[in-house]
Amino acid sequence: MRPILMKGHERPLTFLKYNREGDLLFSCAKDHNPTVWFADNGERLGTYRGHNGAVWCCDVSRDSMQLITASADQSVKLWNVQTGAQLYTFSFNSPARSVDFSVGDKLAVITTDPFMGVTSAINVKRIADDPSQQSGESVLTITGPAGRINRAVWGPLNRTIISAGEDCVVRIWDSETGKLLKESEPEVGHKKPISSLTKSADGSHFLTGSLDKSAKLWDSRTLTLIKNYTTERPVNAVTMSPLLDHVVLGGGQDASSVTTTDHRAGKFEAKFYDKILQEEIGGVKGHFGPINALAFNPDGKSFSSGGEDGYVRLHHFDPDYFNIKI
C-alpha cells in the first residue's frame, strides 16, 4: 500500500472531507486556502481563495455543488465547488470552528469559539437554494458549554445536534428548541478535551477522539457508550470504515512537545482498531508530525490522513486488507 503524497498546503492540515461519491477530497489547513483534490490519484484540482485565517473545518453538499468552510478569520464561507467562486459569507464575532450540513443541505450547524469575552456558541443557519437569496440570520443559537466546542454535527433525521469540545462532555441538543436533551456522564465520558467527532455512515452511532488517549463509540440517539479504544498518544482525529468494522485513530503529541521526543522518521501512525473487539489490528506510518485529520472514502477502499507536516497522504488499500482476521 504505497501512499500518494499530496503536497499543496504550506501549514498543518486541520480537516479532511470526501464528497458523497468519493471522487473528490477537500482539505483544510492553517494556510487559509481550502483545497480540492481528485481522490483516486491525488491530483490537485484547485483551491478556494478568500479566507484570511486558518481554516478549521469544511463540509460539502450532497450534490457536490456547494462547499462550506469555517475559519479563524471569524467567517464561514459558502463556495461553488466547481468554479471556486464565493457564494456567501457568514460573519461572526469570534473564530468559526466547525461546520456541518444537515441531511438535505437546507441547514448548516456552525460552532464559534470563545473570544474576547464572547462565549462559544452553536449557530444554525438556513442555506438558501439560490445563493443570491441567502441571509445571515441564525435560525437557532445555543450557548452554554464552557471552552471551545470543537465539533458539532447533526443527529439522526436532523432532530438533534451533537456537540463535543474542551469541557470533555458530549451533548445532544434539540435542533428545534436548542434544549439540552442529554449529556455524557463524567464516569463514562472523556477525561480530557475532545478533539474530534465523526458519525458512522448511517448516522446511528458516532466516534469521539480525545487528548486523554482514547476514542469512544456512542449511540447517536441514547448517548449510550458502546465501545472504548485506548492508545498511547493523544487522539487528534478519528474516522471509521463505512465498509468493515474498523476504527482509525490518528494523533501524536501536541505540536509544541514533538521536538522533545524521539524523531524517528514517520513515527506518527494512523492506528486501526477492530470496532467490535476494540483490539488494535494494524497501523499506517508515514507522517512527520501528529496526524490532525483523517477521512475514509465512502466506498471504504481508501482513506487519507492529514498531518502537522502539511502533507495529505492518500492510501488505497491492498486486497489483503479486506481479509484481515483477528
Quick: pLDDT tens for 114-150. 988 899 999 999 999 998 898 988 999 999 888 999 9
pLDDT at 326: 74
Residue type, 174: D
**Residue 99: Cβ-neighbour burial (10 angstroms; 0-12, 13-18, 19+):** buried
pLDDT at 198: 96
pLDDT at 177: 92
pLDDT at 259: 57
d(CA 229, CA 243): 19
Which pLDDT tens digit goes with each residue over 44-86? Answer: 999 999 999 999 999 999 999 999 999 999 999 999 999 999 9
Mean confidence (pLDDT) of the chain: 92
d(CA 98, CA 101): 11
- Residue 187 pLDDT > 80: yes
User: Nearest-5° angle of CA 40, CA 44, CA 50?
Assistant: 135
pLDDT at 142: 93
Please tell me the total count of domains within the chain.
1
CATH of the domain at 206: 2.130.10.10
CA distances from 282 to 223, 227, 272, 274 (A): 28, 18, 5, 9
Pairing of strands 214-219, 13-18: unpaired
Query: Could you tell me the residue range of the domain that residue 146 belongs to?
Result: 3-322
- Residue 309 pLDDT > 60: yes
pLDDT at 131: 86
Within 10 angstroms of residue 323's Cβ, the number of other Cβ atoms is 7
**Mean pLDDT throughout 162-184?**
94
Q: Give the three cell numbers for residue 95.
A: 473564530
Dihedral angle computed from the Cα positions of residues 82, 58, 201 and 42, in that order, rounded to the nearest 10 degrees: 60
CB 148 within 8 A of CB 165: yes
Q: Comparing 28-37, 177-186, 249-258, which segment has the lowest mean pLDDT? A: 249-258
- Residue 256 pLDDT > 80: no
pLDDT at 92: 94
d(CA 275, CA 212): 19
What is the pTM assigned to this prediction? 0.92
CB 169 within 8 A of CB 193: no
- Residue 113 pLDDT > 90: yes
**Mean pLDDT throughout 188-214?**
95
Strand locations in 135-193 (E): 138-143, 151-154, 160-164, 170-174, 180-183
pLDDT at 257: 59
Per DSSP, the residues of 230-289 read: E-SS-EEEEEE-SSSSEEEEEE-S-GGGGGGS---TT-EEEEEEETTT--EEEEEEEESS
